[in-house]
Structure 1
Amino acid sequence: MRIFMQGSKHSGFLALDGTAKIHRDQTLIEELWDPIMKTWFTEGKDDARITVIEFVPEAGYYWDNKHGNLVAATRMILGAAIGRTLDDSIEGRGLWPRCCPRWPTIPPLMSRTASSPKHASRNIAASLLLGTAGWGLPRASQHRFASADPADSHLKRYARSLPAVEINSSFYRPHQRTTYEHWAATTPPAFRFSAKLPRSITHTAGLRDSESLLQAFLEQVYGLGERLGCLLVQLPPSLSLDIATANDFFGILRRLHGEGGVAVEPRHASWFSPQGDALLAHWQVARVLADPVLHDPGRIPGGWSGLVYCRLHGSPRVYYSAYDTALIDALAHRLVAAAHEAESVWCIFDNTASGAAAENALDLVSASVACEAITNMEPQ
């Protein structure tokens, strides 16, 4: 299905391609109903002629003028007078991966915006923190992590090819500070680690009365020094949002951890709500975009917008299924677009059981570099 939208005669053109589903969801009809609609649907909300069309975009094209209709019209008149095209347009194309079809909400892949993006001057592709959960190198992928010294550790080889990694073992057992220090010393200065909080905090304690546990964990993980890029808080599916408990926990975490990056991966539906997002944004905590998506609001990142953190667990078979080239390319475009706005953008592949994560992460790095190169070549 294709939808065309237009702001005015000479501005605001948007075309979206996607799939549509027609149904009669009474809850949505109630939500979308406006009294003026009774002009056409004379029996009100229960009128049998009412249907809801749910549209999920997959690709799109956007065109507009940069400086408003008056400037555009002046350029058109002047161009006609002198016989030249005085371009004042901006355009872009967008792709929506199947795992997160509505992310991000900013106009996707706009080549340039009228106002400069926050991070236009930096190398966006190089700033993306892409990697896998753990740094094990599957035999089938080891040729892509070449090393001049056969004695090099997997981590050292991994860090030459990927810019970030997620430490999952910290969820199951503590590591000595010297272990973290060794890992940091093995990697280049720009490399970043994300460390997962222990399950004793998230699952056993349920975020309650955990200050001493947090202190012990932070004392250990701070051995990473400046290479510690983010803390990951993965919550059990049964842990619902309790405002008082969550405020206490994140307040303590912020007091102990300062302004360091924090992302939370909730799985109970109550966290995917305006109240949940507002609480997380208050404490500058990002809500993870996880695939497979468990709840519809989880199709876009939530919480604090300064950090974007994606965890791709594999779909349809969790921890096993590889992501195809089309999705990797589309995801690269979305991450590059997000990196123009957010301070930090992470994407971690957790489909490690089949060894697919390493290949997917390497392919995403290449696709992101290509995407940024194409964006930089487009006319401003």
Structure 2
Amino acid sequence: MTIRPIYWQDEAVMILDQRLLPGKLVYLPCRDMRRVIHCIKTLAVRGAPAIGVAAAMGLVLAARAIKADDPAKFRAALARRAQVMAQARPTAVNLAWACGQMLETARAAEGEVSAIVEALYHKSQRMLEDDIAINQAMGRHGAALVPHGATILTHCNAGALATGGYGTALGVARAAAEAGKNPSVIADETRPLLQGARLTAWEMVQENIPVRVAPDSAVGVIMSRGMVDLVVVGADRIAMNGDVANKVGTFNVALQAQRHGVPFYVAAPLSTIDPGAKSADDIPIEERAAVEITKLGGRAIAAPGAGAINFAFDVTPNDLVTAIITEVGVLRPPYEKSLAQAKANEKIQGAGR
């Protein structure tokens, strides 16, 4: 099954509503930027690369709605809308990166406003196509690290649903399966919204890759019994020293992996590496509503009157990260050097295009 989390259909951005999976497969047609922002904030679309693509497409919708004939006024109005879009979720750097890419496209485009809007549309489509190609390249690099018959433990969902398609962490599992390595996956449930149980398990079933769901709290005992060969997770932002922000609970998995001698890999595109973040101290951590903790499926599971602590992400320190799998290869410590070199090369290649 080809999973399409987001795509253009005529004048609308079609977003697969991940809140309803695995029970229902429903696409939400978005015809204005506000609708896209709502989908991002409410997690109808989630995962750093997917959010970036959604942001780019949302800005196309915004561009089409701007009433301006003068290109300079149009670009100024688009920049204001991009500022709003960039604030939809603070931790995933791909969101701001995508907004920057779209504004750069608008600045570079020549001609009337209609030509700029058309250039923005084509840029958003290229970003979707490029994301899939990047994930496939990442998967090939990561598959080389997967032993035959290995069991991969992953946290949250970093598959096709979290990207333009194919996946980052789950892209490694898919590529390993395509290479005939017969991997299997353990998906921890990923409280409080159960992205592992709901989404990762669903994706692996679609791909015919054996998958088992485990409680988050069972990661230690699972590793202590030798049931995991490697951990592969995604990332929402990576600092230049290799500190990794990802779904809350990732830090706990990394600590268990270190304790039990299990390699801990992060699979993420170069766009997730943030040159503006030197370390974890520069990464904002989103806090979400208490209701995500105190209720499940609309029903109260906590005592009435109880508060909640609901950090959406945590940061895994760089010394717990065995390597970072990217589209250009596997980056290893010291990350200050390997990440800086990769980003420098990316900038040179981008300037040459």
Structure with larger Rg = 1
TM-score by length of 2: 0.25
TM-score by length of 1: 0.23
Identify the structure with the greater helix proportion.
Answer: 2
